[in-house]
A and B are shown apart, each in its own frame.
Chain A
């Protein structure tokens, strides 16, 4: 493939100038964290160096396409021979390790120019750190991207000539529906090195990220941006979008939304900062209940939200590094992407190495159109519903839609109002007839059924009339608000808003950071040592060691009071159990007496309250 900007637009059959203008008008500014190794790149350049493989699901791989054979045109022919087979590409997985070894000698493992300003472990407690340690150990057992792969990917990316690495395409499409126009922007990265470069949750080869801008049209037919949505792993539906006029939650540079990309993860954020992502760990329900129960007993009723078990990672989206977009030092190369391009519908495999990780965190993603299981992504098939905008009309449509709804309800209300008097008369006549023939048992049952039917029908219509009145009042209020251009609060739709901390704001003392880094490993080593050297006193010493570690942690965090309360509560629970085990009959009798007194008090109180005066 030739090394020119033209390569980025080669083999793209349908260039719609109006779409390009629209995409250009609202294209984002993406700001990265200093130390970021990978920026958006041309898929053509990536494919040139890629090898295409097919995995049979049992660890056997077959080479389908050698280096240099792949392009945006030839990347088609989806695997069709069974669900177990999976196609994947790899660039970093090819070549010798010599260059990687050289890189290891030259540089530290952490990304160049990046400083975390405080260990993530110091930001969470023991339980999370213990789970984190288990997670790290699990990486040895489950499929994971080898460290050398990340290094090699960095090396390959850096070795690209400047004229190639300076091409930053976004792959975009314009989706027009009866209500909204969605601009969908995709960014392709050669590698996600969040784990190896930035102490994050995962590494994987190839990375696709996406954002959306949703447009309405004004009276002159001009496009008006109303919402921006950034795809994020832990958020769904309406929590993904921010209103264009929400200056608190959405940064704009002119008409361009600003995206703060997570270091290594490339996850998109609306605000700059450091995001503590506590990824919940799904434990078997029995264990989860036991953990919650213990937590409830120790912390007490109302002692705060059940923390569950989670692993903490920090996603650094500082925005203090490179930036791409209007006004930035690097600019975009827009590429229209739709189903007419061979590789978009034609390749449903993974874009990077498949390590067959059961949690999938270390497996490469599929392309823009597909999920890893080859189903079509919802963000592709229905970008409007993806951000739950299917339930929200564009402002220019809202008043007319509400008016139409209002008129329909009014029509129905007229029909209902006309039907009710007739039914009332019929029911009254039925009652009168029954009254006249009440002594005739043979004729009454059918008339009774008829009367019940009339009564049911009338009751339903009367209820509908009242409900319609309420609905009409609500529709009028909403329509008037839409007529006047009044909108709800910009964040009224949000269920959950990620709150970043400023870079370095969560910085804890060096002592706590050091303690957080060594405590779990040290505790395990001491406990093993105690069990080996002094098994007779093992339990007592182990309890003492754990207590000492907790005390040190609480002193460093300034939480001695909380720890004291927890310990004393624990002792009280043990004491209560001891007493109950020895005097359980007495305990039950006391509980029964207490219940009896309580019931008596309640009932007598009620009796006195309801007694007639005097």
Chain B
């Protein structure tokens, strides 16, 4: 759900703000990927889980990078960390992929 909200929010923000043209494609792509990941995760299956974990990992790395550079978004960090921990528990992983060992 977080991914879905984040993806939609990013797309809306992209329309409302002046994002540099060279970043529009990347940001929009990531937003769309987030939405796709959220939807495929809800549908179940290993690819949904893989995509969602991949996008979460990317988002986490990006947020940590921003924190390192002095522009932290602690709310996003906390929510992403919570989602990542929940999504990578052995139970959750087994439910989506059939593999239990992280």
Instruction: State whether these chains interact.
Output: yes
Given A561-B99, A568-B56: A300 in contact with B78 (beta carbons within 8 A): no
SS of A interface (majority)? helix
Answer yes or no: B45 CB below 8 A from chain A CBs: no
Bound CA span A300–B93, Å: 11
- Contact across chains for A303 and B61 when beta carbons are under 8 A apart: no
Bound CA span A561–B100, Å: 11
| B residues near A568, Cβ cutoff 8 Å | 53, 56-57, 60, 84, 87-88
- Contact across chains for B102 and A298 when beta carbons are under 8 A apart: yes
- Contact across chains for A583 and B80 when beta carbons are under 8 A apart: no
Interface size class of B (residues with CB under 8 A): 20 to 34
Answer yes or no: B16 CB below 8 A from chain A CBs: no
Answer yes or no: B90 CB below 8 A from chain A CBs: yes
Q: Which residue of B lies closest to A576 (CB)?
A: B81
| B residues near A583, Cβ cutoff 8 Å | 74
Bound CA span A561–B87, Å: 13
- Contact across chains for B102 and A567 when beta carbons are under 8 A apart: no
- Contact across chains for A575 and B81 when beta carbons are under 8 A apart: yes
Query: Which of A299, A567, A574, A582 contacts B101 (CB under 8 A)?
Result: A299
Name the residue in A303, A572, A583 with the highest tally of chain B Cβ atoms < 10 Å from its Cβ: A572
Answer yes or no: A571 CB below 8 A from chain B CBs: yes
Given A572-B60, A579-B77: A300 in contact with B97 (beta carbons within 8 A): no
| B residues near A579, Cβ cutoff 8 Å | 74, 77-78, 81
Q: Which of chain B's residues 46-63 have a Cβ closer than 8 Å to chain A?
A: 46, 50, 53-54, 56-57, 60-61, 63
Bound CA span A571–B63, Å: 10
- Contact across chains for A304 and B84 when beta carbons are under 8 A apart: no
Bound CA span A568–B50, Å: 11
- Contact across chains for A576 and B57 when beta carbons are under 8 A apart: no
Answer yes or no: B91 CB below 8 A from chain A CBs: yes
Bound CA span A566–B89, Å: 10
| B residues near A574, Cβ cutoff 8 Å | 64
Answer yes or no: A301 CB below 8 A from chain B CBs: yes
| A residues near B61, Cβ cutoff 8 Å | 571
Q: Which residue of A lies closest to B86 (CB)?
A: A572
Q: Which of chain A's residues 520-566 have a Cβ closer than 8 Å to chain B?
A: 561-562, 564-566
Bound CA span A578–B63, Å: 11
Answer yes or no: A358 CB below 8 A from chain B CBs: no
- Contact across chains for B81 and A561 when beta carbons are under 8 A apart: no
Name the residue in B63, B77, B97 with the highest tally of chain A Cβ atoms < 10 Å from its Cβ: B77
| A residues near B82, Cβ cutoff 8 Å | 572, 576
- Contact across chains for A566 and B78 when beta carbons are under 8 A apart: no
| A residues near B74, Cβ cutoff 8 Å | 578-579, 582-583
Bound CA span A107–B78, Å: 62
Q: Which of chain B's residues 28-59 have a Cβ closer than 8 Å to chain A?
A: 46, 50, 53-54, 56-57
- Contact across chains for B88 and A578 when beta carbons are under 8 A apart: no
Bound CA span A529–B60, Å: 30
Given A300-B90, A575-B78: A564 in contact with B53 (beta carbons within 8 A): yes
Bound CA span A562–B91, Å: 13
Q: Which residue of A lies closest to B75 (CB)?
A: A579
- Contact across chains for B84 and A569 when beta carbons are under 8 A apart: yes
Minimum distance in angstroms from B91 CB to a CB of chain A? 7
Query: Which of B53, B57, B102 contacts A300 (CB under 8 A)?
Result: B102
| B residues near A301, Cβ cutoff 8 Å | 89-90
Bound CA span A582–B70, Å: 13
Bound CA span A304–B91, Å: 11
Answer yes or no: A221 CB below 8 A from chain B CBs: no
| A residues near B84, Cβ cutoff 8 Å | 568-569, 571-572, 575
Query: Which of A298, A562, A572 contacts B99 (CB under 8 A)?
Result: A562
Query: Which of A304, A565, A575 contacts B88 (CB under 8 A)?
Result: A565
Answer yes or no: A302 CB below 8 A from chain B CBs: yes
- Contact across chains for A565 and B78 when beta carbons are under 8 A apart: no
- Contact across chains for A304 and B100 when beta carbons are under 8 A apart: yes
**Contacts A/B (CB < 8 Å), 28 sampled:** A299-B90, A302-B91, A302-B100, A303-B90, A303-B100, A303-B101, A304-B90, A561-B46, A561-B97, A562-B102, A564-B50, A564-B53, A566-B102, A567-B57, A568-B56, A568-B57, A568-B88, A569-B84, A569-B88, A569-B102, A571-B81, A572-B60, A572-B88, A575-B63, A575-B77, A578-B72, A578-B77, A579-B74
Interface residues of A (CB under 8 A from B): 298-304, 561-562, 564-569, 571-576, 578-579, 582-583
Interface residues of B (CB under 8 A from A): 46, 50, 53-54, 56-57, 60-61, 63-64, 67, 72, 74, 77-78, 80-82, 84-85, 87-91, 93, 97, 99-102
Beyond A569-B102, A578-B74, A583-B74: 13 further Cβ-contacts under 8 Å? A302-B89, A304-B100, A561-B46, A564-B54, A565-B53, A566-B88, A567-B57, A568-B53, A568-B87, A569-B84, A571-B61, A575-B64, A579-B81
